[in-house]
Amino acid sequence: MNKMLAVCTTIDGTPELRQVDVPKIRPEEMLVKVIAAAQNPAEWVVAEWRKGKETAIIGCDFAGIVTQVGEAVTDFKIGERVAGMVHGCKELNGTYAEYVAALPYMTFKIPSSWSLEDASQLGVACYTACQCLYQSQDLPLPEHPTSEPFDILIWGAGSSVGHFTVQLAKLGGMRVIATASTKHFDRLKALGIDELFDYHDPDVNEKIKACTNGNLHHAVDCIANETTPKLISNALSTEGGTVSVVRDVESVRDEVKHVFSLAYELTERPFDFPWDYIPKPGMAAFARKCSEMISKLLNEGKLVPAPLKIYPNGFASVSEGFTYMKSGLVSGEKIVYRVEDTPGLQN
């Protein structure tokens, strides 16, 4: 088994299903047979950015079975069910493929209570949620919840990152104030959100201020578009606070600090999009702690998945999935591709 099917970038920026070499793992990596891969917004953006550049395999999120481990890997073994993320669209290693070379510190162990389709959504969403809560703001961890609950605002709780940020914040003992579209309210209330508001409501800022008594100092912006920085900043205390954001934005109040989280950094490997990045020491160690914590929470049944939208033809549906996402139609669901549904599969 030397060849596999994979969705690759092309000279014109469109995804294409091709036969490529199965990745050869390094001593610190493991080879995973991909069962399902989830789609993230960055993938179609980076695929288009790579126009005219060297071919790369698309996809960051995966779930599957370990088939080979490098000699330096000690915490995973062949046959284990796993999920996680890699930096796809960067080289000939991505998750829209039959096999992916994964880093153990960027991988979760998946209990039998979770399907691998559901588990495929965990990678980018959970690592980003951990960055927003623990790296950017040093907020309470689930294993050490605060004994004095305080408010945190999670804007865009219906998103993939929001879905898991809410759960981790609640497990950390925080009082969660959240915004979302009303069509997601029933699902989100089941996660234990304390106060939930419609982000389309023109009075949402005043309602958040009222329910927090003007004493809100922590927020996570899971949308980070052209309007959310001002909306969230104005909901915070007059003393200011910190907002973790999933895209780089400018602060609109001097008293409010915005901290950008990018999960790619946790690989502790260089990259050149969205900027030239030189690895920072300690990122891999942080990722490993997150992986161990999420694995433990999954095993204890303390995390629940978000809804999925599974495309019927596996990786042959990626162009359709990209178009659906680019059109702004994704809302409160995670697009997932099952490898076995891909026409022409041989391995």
pLDDT band of residue 346 (cuts 50, 70, 90) is low
Average pLDDT over residues 263-269: 94
Round to the nearest angstrom and report the end-to-end CA distance of the chain: 8
Q: What is the CATH number of the domain that holds 141?
A: 3.40.50.720
Query: What percent of the chain lies above the pLDDT cut of 90?
Result: 86
Query: What is d(CA 166, CA 160) in angstroms, rounded to the nearest whole number?
Result: 10
- Residues 120, 269 within the same domain: yes
Asked whether the beta carbons of 84 and 291 are under 8 A apart, the reply is yes
Digit-coded pLDDT (tens) for 35-73: 999 999 888 888 887 776 789 999 999 999 999 999 999
- Residues 196, 224 within the same domain: yes
Digit-coded pLDDT (tens) for 299-328: 999 999 999 999 999 999 999 999 999 999
pLDDT at position 1 over 80: no
What ranges make up the beta strands (E) of 270-332?
308-311
Task: With residue 38 as reference, give the H or E element that holds it.
Answer: strand 30-38
Is 132 part of any domain? no
pLDDT at position 273 over 80: no
The residue written with tokens 């062949």 in the block is 78
Q: Of 227, 260, 293, which residue sits at a domain end?
A: 260
Domain total of the chain: 2
The Cβ-side half-sphere exposure at 202, using a 13 Å CA radius, reads: 0
- Residues 87, 176 within the same domain: no
Tell me which residue range forms the domain holding 217: 137-260
- Residues 121, 7 within the same domain: yes
pLDDT for 13 equals: 82
Is 131 part of any domain? no
Q: What is the CATH number of the domain that holds 121?
A: 3.90.180.10
- Here the tokens at position 345 are 């599969």
Coil, helix or strand for 91? coil
More confident of the two residues 51 and 277: 277
pLDDT for 45 equals: 84
Asked whether the beta carbons of 87 and 60 are under 8 A apart, the reply is yes
Is 91 part of any domain? yes
